[in-house]
């Protein structure tokens, strides 16, 4: 229901040092009208310019706490709050080039009262600035 | 009707302001303030939406909450719980774990000063039964939300009715969502489908089939054979999630009904809900002696956010002007009252 | 009723013998011979099932067919067409391609000497319209099969009715499948679910909800919240594919009804169909002046093949004994007649 | 509806010469009450002892005509008849060992009047004999 707000404008950055760029990150929200325990965040798929990151390379930071995507199923004591801009970080040696990138984020959420997986997809063009 | 005596009160669920809260245009205090300012003195809160740090928001949160209730003249009428039965990967919670989860939310409701707790539809009847005496000790009522496409003869609700009738606990009952009384297809949904790429003949067939009480379950095959695209298939599926029931079906269950979620999708410029006939619903509630709240639940935002800036505040105000009219209250909420409130300076007021 | 004059005739669709034909226990000639031997003189054939080399089985096939009709005293009443709209990967056939496909099957029906052609449910009304005059020239009627969960107020059927009423072509109409009149949940289906691992409380709830005309569409969510396994979810879905309609609904459409597929799932030892009340259906057909065939369509095999050797022949014979009784014919088919037929020496006769 | 008849008993054989075994084959039926044009046979998945063959290694022979599985989408002039025992051949250097094998066959069929893919699955233990 909040798919269009998943990707936060103007948040795409490279990570690491200037002479050792190790990846990139961006701001992402849940497309849902309440917060959700992290064990129910089944997937966050980040696709940049058509290339989808492997799940092993993705991490999520909520209010200062960082988790590997692959560890989320076991996180029972932390939540992603409604509307909270979390940071999704992706390992990628060299990071992204400066300039515009096509960014797609697809989330799969396990919502107990729904018979099928929940979640949503957003697609925006973000510009990476130094 | 205007002079009929009744005890129905007005309230608002902060579900209504989800768009503005999500985007941090309104704070929780703004929600309370707005509710108080329109005479919706009974507020309903979704802890998992509005409480940072749920289920342990900290004492400061509760202190603020109590202060706001005092300051704006509001009371906490209801809280809405979720039951994450699929919290653990690969298995469903045991009934014992579910019971623990519900009791935790009952404790939160008690701390907030609520009277009623919305049990979400997937709460098993066995869990309602296991929590009844706990809720009773806290002075709370645990009310199963009857949300479309559920209804009082649905096999799941029949199982809940069996428990409620057998236990005769004062702590169990229903919280009907007025989205079970959608008399005509919501325009915000059909127009969104058109904008998303559904062809008019598909949208018209869905709307017409729904409005004529046709076989909406037959739309999926029909659309499939007509070569529907995914958006069109979506509107066929949506047609089976909407329901019309005669509002009088509530009368039989009135002893179990203690709180009402006044779902709405679009308050039009002429002051009525486009799809849900409150002018038919409210007289039934009066006739049945309902003495709880009408708790606004605005759910139009998701259907219009692609073309306009959502103005949930104005939509809720319009619904309350309608409530005042239908409840025979003096109409104190002027059209255009939104303009006076500085909090929403950047909100568009022309939702539609 | 026994003395009521009527012109209803008996026939059999070779769909009924699918298990034996699939396993090469019966040849096509065996099917014709069996039909003739039980007085089911009107035969219905599914070319795509029974014609090796379809759509070009060769002249020898048609010569044999004509000889068999002569030899066993039978006539070809109907053929069943399929419309493979998804024949080409990644796209749906154009209406023009569909029309070509249907005409090809009309030609085959004509060559077989049939009067009626079953148009499968996914045939668009536009294609029916485009084929009407072609069928009329061939002296054929193209009849849309109304199969559960479709019915005469289903949005897809309403579209077909619009074409039929507008065109007033003698070549278009309906072929109702009596599976639209399932009064109680077929026992062969519920028992199979139990054998496949459904727990009794789920099966009982599905059967009870169906039999009480409850909200079968609500079973999916109910079962989901009850923790259903895939077999249990399957029985919930199945419940929405079964339908009960009052048989009198056919009366209004009788001018369009020219052939009937007498679907059945289980003829019991006492000579009745467990789930479909033919004793209520046949009087309605007589009242409506129906003068076509009751064409047996046995569909129980798939539900029992896991535990017994299917004996479709005996099942069809039982249905025809019932037809004789309900149509007021002299009962010529003795119980146990199966034993005399050497063709089925290896077929078990105790289907149930 | 005829899932249990998909795999035909006693039909598992190696293919090729005695001194150059190139694969194996078995008899398979459609789980359907009518024949079907081959363009609508979307997949035939053969799994032996838990190992699923790549689609590139699978061929289908109906009444003497052999097609690669990957070519079936383009075959508009041939059908798999109802109840016809077709031969599914799988390329596999050295073939299978003599003795019993766990065999699973899953078919996906495109049936136009059904909203979801049709087909079926069968699982049997077949013994390969020399
Ligand atoms: Mn609600
Ligand atoms: Mn039929």
Domain of residue C82, CATH code: 3.20.20.150
Could you read off the pLDDT of B137-166 as tens digits, one per residue?
999 999 999 999 999 999 999 999 999 999
Whether A4 and B305 lie within 8 Å, measured CB to CB:
yes
Could you read off the pLDDT of C284-309 as tens digits, one per residue?
999 999 999 999 999 999 999 999 99
- Note whether B200 and B147 are same-domain residues: no
- Note whether C198 and C323 are same-domain residues: no
Which chains contact B through at least 3 pairs of Cβ atoms less than 8 Å apart? A, C, D
Angle at CA C279, nearest 5°, toward C276 and C282?
Answer: 95
Could you read off the pLDDT of C316-334 as tens digits, one per residue?
999 999 999 999 998 777 6
Contact predicate C299/C13, CB 8 Å: no
- pLDDT tens, per residue, chain C with 352 residues: 444 689 999 999 999 999 999 999 999 999 999 999 999 999 999 999 999 999 999 999 999 999 999 999 999 999 999 999 999 999 999 999 999 999 999 999 999 999 999 999 999 999 999 999 999 999 999 999 999 999 999 999 999 999 999 999 999 999 999 999 999 999 999 999 999 999 999 999 999 999 999 999 999 999 999 999 999 999 999 999 999 999 999 999 999 999 999 999 999 999 999 999 999 999 999 999 999 999 999 999 999 999 999 999 999 999 999 999 999 998 777 654 443 333 333 333 333 2
Q: Which structural domain, as residue segments, surrounds residue B221?
A: 188-237
**Residues of A at the B interface, defined by Cβ within 8 angstroms:** 1-2, 4-5, 29, 33-35, 37, 39-40, 73-74, 76, 79, 81-83, 110-113
CA of C147, nearest ligand number: 2
Query: Is C4 inside a domain boundary?
Result: no
CA of C145, nearest ligand number: 2
- Note whether C33 and C110 are same-domain residues: yes
Query: Is C151 inside a domain boundary?
Result: yes
Query: Is B2 inside a domain boundary?
Result: no
Contact predicate B298/B20, CB 8 Å: no
Residue of A nearest to C224 (CA): A115
Q: What is the DSSP letter of A27?
A: E
pLDDT band at B240 (very low <50, low <70, confident <90, very high): very high
Distance from residue C89's CA to the centre of ligand 2 (Å): 27
- Note whether B65 and B155 are same-domain residues: yes
Task: State whether residue C300 is helix, strand or coil.
Answer: coil
- Note whether B207 and B320 are same-domain residues: no
- Note whether B69 and B201 are same-domain residues: no
Contact predicate B349/B70, CB 8 Å: no
Chains C and B touch (3+ CB pairs under 8 A): yes
- Note whether C181 and C195 are same-domain residues: no
Question: Which chain B residues contact residue C149 at CB under 8 A?
Answer: 217-218
- Note whether B164 and B80 are same-domain residues: yes
Residue of D nearest to B220 (CA): D115
- Note whether B14 and B140 are same-domain residues: yes
Which chains contact C through at least 3 pairs of Cβ atoms less than 8 Å apart? A, B, D
Chains D and C touch (3+ CB pairs under 8 A): yes
Rounded distance between C-alpha atoms, residue D8 and residue D26, angstroms: 7
Question: Which chain C residues contact residue D73 at CB under 8 A?
Answer: 89
Number of domains in chain B: 2
Torsion sign (Cα): C174, C178, C181, C182: negative
- For residue A17, pLDDT beyond 70: yes
pTM above 0.90, yes or no: yes
Whether C214 and B159 lie within 8 Å, measured CB to CB:
no
**B220 touching D (Cβ < 8 Å):** yes
Query: Is B260 inside a domain boundary?
Result: yes
Distance (Å) from the alpha carbon of A74 to chain C's nearest alpha carbon:
22
CA of B143, nearest ligand number: 1
- Note whether B193 and B79 are same-domain residues: no
Whether D5 and C23 lie within 8 Å, measured CB to CB:
yes
**B268 touching D (Cβ < 8 Å):** no
> What pLDDT sits at residue B342?
36
Last residue of a domain, one of C176, C202, C237: C237
Query: Is C144 inside a domain boundary?
Result: yes
Q: What is the mean pLDDT of residues B234-255?
A: 98
Q: How far is CA B164 from CA B22, C224, C281, in A?
A: 36, 21, 41
Contact predicate C143/C119, CB 8 Å: yes
Query: Is B92 inside a domain boundary?
Result: yes
Q: Which domains does chain A have, with CATH numbers?
A: 3-128 (2.60.40)
Distance from residue C60's CA to the centre of ligand 1 (Å): 68
DSSP string for residues in chain D: --GGGSBPTT--EEEEETTEEEEEEEEE--SSSS-EEGGGEEEEEEEETTEEPPGGGEEEEETTEEEEGGGGGG--S-EE-TT--EEEEEE-TT---SEEEEEEEEEEE--TT-SS-EEEEEEEEEEE--
Whether D29 and C88 lie within 8 Å, measured CB to CB:
no
Instruction: Establish whether this prediction's ipTM goes over 0.90.
Output: yes
- Note whether B193 and B179 are same-domain residues: no
- Note whether B207 and B73 are same-domain residues: no
Query: Is C97 inside a domain boundary?
Result: yes
Query: Is B344 inside a domain boundary?
Result: no
- For residue B348, pLDDT beyond 90: no
Q: How far is CA D12 from CA A14, B189, D64, D121, in A?
A: 57, 56, 18, 17
Looking at every residue in chain D, the average pLDDT score rounds to: 96
């Amino acid at each position: 229901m909040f798919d269009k707000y998943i990707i936060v404008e103007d948040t795409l950055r490279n990570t690491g040092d200037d002479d050792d760029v190790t990846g990139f990150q961006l701001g992402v929200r849940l497309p849902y009208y309440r917060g959700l325990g992290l064990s129910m965040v089944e997937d966050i798929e980040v696709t940049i310019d058509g290339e989808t990151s492997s799940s092993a390379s993705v991490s999520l930071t909520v209010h200062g706490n960082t988790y590997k995507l692959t560890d989320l199923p076991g996180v029972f004591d932390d939540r992603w709050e409604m509307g909270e801009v979390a940071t999704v970080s992706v390992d990628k040696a060299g990071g992204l080039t400066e300039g515009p990138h096509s960014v797609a984020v697809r989330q799969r959420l396990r919502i107990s009262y729904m018979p099928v997986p929940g979640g949503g997809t957003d697609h925006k063009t973000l510009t990476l600035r130094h | 009707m205007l002079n009929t005596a009744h005890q129905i009160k007005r309230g608002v669920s902060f579900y209504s302001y989800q768009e503005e809260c999500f985007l941090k245009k309104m704070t929780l205090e703004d929600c309370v303030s707005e509710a108080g300012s329109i005479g919706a003195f009974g507020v309903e809160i979704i802890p998992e939406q509005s409480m940072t740090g749920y289920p342990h928001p900290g004492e400061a949160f509760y202190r603020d909450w109590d202060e706001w209730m005092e300051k704006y003249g509001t009371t906490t009428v209801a809280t809405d719980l979720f039951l994450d039965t699929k919290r653990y990967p690969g298995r469903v919670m045991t009934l014992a774990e579910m019971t623990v989860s519900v009791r935790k939310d009952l404790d939160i409701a008690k701390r907030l000063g609520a009277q009623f707790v919305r049990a979400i539809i997937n709460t098993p009847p066995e869990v309602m039964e296991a929590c009844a005496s706990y809720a009773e000790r806290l002075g709370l009522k645990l009310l199963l939300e009857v949300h479309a496409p559920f209804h009082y003869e649905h096999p799941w609700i029949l199982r809940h009715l069996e428990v409620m009738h057998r236990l005769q606990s004062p702590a169990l009952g229903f919280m009907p969502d007025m989205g079970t009384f959608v008399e005509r297809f919501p325009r915000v949904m059909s127009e969104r489908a058109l904008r998303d790429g559904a062809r008019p003949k598909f949208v018209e067939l869905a709307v017409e089939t729904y409005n004529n009480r046709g076989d909406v379950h037959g739309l999926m095959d029909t659309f499939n054979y007509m070569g529907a695209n995914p958006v069109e298939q979506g509107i066929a599926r949506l047609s089976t999630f909407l329901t019309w029931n005669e509002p009088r079906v509530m009368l039989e269950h009135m002893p179990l009904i203690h709180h009402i979620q006044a779902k709405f999708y679009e308050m039009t410029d002429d002051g009525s809900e486009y799809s849900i006939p409150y002018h038919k619903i409210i007289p039934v509630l009066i006739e049945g002696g309902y003495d709880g709240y009408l708790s606004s639940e605005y759910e139009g935002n998701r259907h219009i956010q692609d073309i306009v800036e959502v103005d949930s505040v104005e939509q809720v105000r319009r619904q309350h002007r309608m409530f005042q009219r239908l409840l025979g209250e003096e109409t104190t909420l002027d059209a255009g009252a939104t303009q006076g409130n500085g909090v929403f300076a950047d909100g568009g007021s022309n939702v539609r």
